[in-house]
Structure formats: structure tokens, C-alpha cells
Structure 1
């Protein structure tokens, strides 16, 4: 079995990429797994990912703390609109995993800011996922 974390991240990326409304906001190349210095904006980028053991006495599991960053060169409003759409997309139909069960995927918070050095705007969303590993 592949890593449940990598499988979860791939499923999230696939879910976001499949939404026409989100792609319309950021463009076809606007969904990335990292932010490059010369990234075309607007964009939605995978930020930090932290994993923790979340096993119980009877089930193996992992907790995944993930951030998604919505970036805009134009305005905070645009960054917040991208973030809002991403939250809806991930909340409407949680990504399906093979070899694991996504128990929950919850939005924890969103913090928006203006980057001083670049002048770009970012809305950083924090999510918490719990994945139960299945026995093969």
C-alpha cells in the first residue's frame, strides 16, 4: 500500500482539479503542490502537511493536518474567494481513498494576509483529516 498521506494528498488534488468553478478562478495551471518563485497568480497551493499517529486499540489510523494557500496578486478579496471555493469543494464530497477510509475532513480556520515583500495576498486554510487504515 502506498502512504495514506500521499494517497490523501493526491485525492485532494484530484478533487480540486476536477471542479470547473475552482479551475475557472485560478486557471488550468493554478493548482500546485508547491509555490514557485515565479508562480502565475492567482493560484491554490498545497502548504504544510503534518501527520500524527491516530491509532486506537483496534484500528490503525493517521491524523493529517494540511494547509492550502490561496494566492492573489490582485486583492485579498480574490484570495478569499478562491479559499471559499476550495472549502466548498472539499466539503461537498470528501476525496475517496483506496486502501484507507477517510473518517473525517474538517476545515479548522482560514487566515488571510498581505505579504510585505511581494505585495501578494494569501488566504491560508487549515484542514484536519482522520484516515483509518484498512487491513489488506
Structure 2
């Protein structure tokens, strides 16, 4: 299952990094696997993944609930995070991503949630997608 998670993460990362509208809004190099320290502006971090077996009698498969988190770091606003989240949904919902070692059956947006981190008060948007992949 972990290879399906890593393959999907890499494809999502590549798709978002190549999206001109998202890059224009948040800047290049703003999509991270782990949260950067003391980041300013809006940035995106891969969030939680819940993966389940989706195999058939003859083919291996994986169903994933994937989260991306858009953070409005210091000097940015919830509005900017929401705008970035909307661009991410547009770029990924039903996108035909190419995965290494797997075939993406579908990738569908499930929900978006705006909240504030309690300690620092920074706004963030959690975007959830459902993906189904088959092993090649």
C-alpha cells in the first residue's frame, strides 16, 4: 500500500508544481511533503492519508483518502489560502495523473475545511480527495 501512497503523492506534487495559476498565486517551490520551518506566505503540505485494500480477484488496488493542507503563514490571509485551495481542487479533481507503477482509476474532491491553528492563529484549509489506484 505504501508504494501506491508514494506514487500518488509524487503525481500530485508534480501536477501542482506545474500549475501556472497556483504558482502565480503562491509562488514556485511552495508545495512540501513536510511543513517548512518559519514559512511565510501561503504554502501547501501533504496531509494525512488513509489507505485501504481495493483489490479484485485478479488485480491489486488501493483506495486512498488523501488530505492536502493549505497554510496561510505569517503575512498572508485566510482568503489567500481559500483561493489556493480552489485552484488545487480545480487542478486535481478528476485529473488524469500518471503514477509510477500504478494506474489512477479516479481522483475526486470530497471536502474542504477552513480553520485556524489554535496556538498561532494561522488560517489553514484542509482539502480531502478520494483516489482509487490499481497496481500495474
Q: With the length of structure 2 as denominator, give the TM-score of the two structures.
A: 0.89
C-alpha RMSD over aligned residues: 1.6
Question: Taking structure 1 as reference, are residues 130 and 92 closer, same or farther at Cα in structure 2, changes over 3 Å only?
Answer: closer
Moved over 3 A (4+): none
1:69-105 deviation line (CA, Å, top 9, x unaligned) = 1111332211110100000011263311233210010
Structure 2: runs of 5 or more not aligned: none
Which structure 2 residues correspond to residues 1-136 of structure 1 after superposition, within 5 A? 3-73=3-73, 74-91=76-93, 93-134=95-136
Structure 1: runs of 5 or more not aligned: none
Distance in structure 1 (CA, Å) of the matches to 2:96 and 2:116: 30
8 Å CA contact 1:79, 1:122 repeated in 2: yes
8 Å CA contact 1:26, 1:44 repeated in 2: no
Q: With the length of structure 1 as denominator, give the TM-score of the two structures.
A: 0.89
Tell me the SS of whatever aligns to 1:125.
strand
Distance in structure 1 (CA, Å) of the matches to 2:29 and 2:14: 13
8 Å CA contact 2:114, 2:123 repeated in 1: yes
Aligned residues: 133
